Amino acid sequence: MKLIISSTSGQPIYEQIKRQVREAVLTGELKSGQALPSLRRLAKELRISVLTVTRAYNELADEGIVENVQGKGTFVMERGGERMRQQLVARVNASLDEACEAALAADVPLLDLLSMLETRYDACQHRERNHGGQH
């Protein structure tokens, strides 16, 4: 797995690491039980702070994607893809709740909201495809 970090993307470095590791797990590039690079090694390769890598790995562990094993390293969780998917679906539902509340407050009809969602979804897919070539 090759991580590409951009200092100009506007996205925090630890978030870039998390996103790329998540994607590698979902696509099967990283398999269950596989070790991630050590904190120090990845920090050195990316020329970033060990604390930044630690934050990314800890947040991935909180999401159930990886497991930190004291003294051994960080490993992709068994069934990490399914647990990650459940976490992401929960985030989607929370975001949709917020969007629905805002739409109701602004008197946006359901069909307009659906159209807005479709537009945003398409824009996100386009953005992901463009970022996909950088991984």
Domain definitions of the chain by residue range: 13-132
Residue 124 CA: distances (Å) to CA of 89, 119, 133: 16, 9, 15
Q: What is the dihedral of CA 90, 10, 46, 28, to 10 degrees?
A: 30
pLDDT in tens, 17-76: 999 998 888 778 999 899 999 999 999 999 999 999 999 999 999 888 899 999 999 999
pLDDT in tens, 86-123: 777 888 899 999 999 999 999 999 999 999 999 999 99
State the Cα–Cα distance between residues 78 and 98, nearest whole angstrom.
Answer: 32
CATH number for the domain formed by residue range(s) 13-132: 1.10.10.10
Q: How much is the pTM? A: 0.64
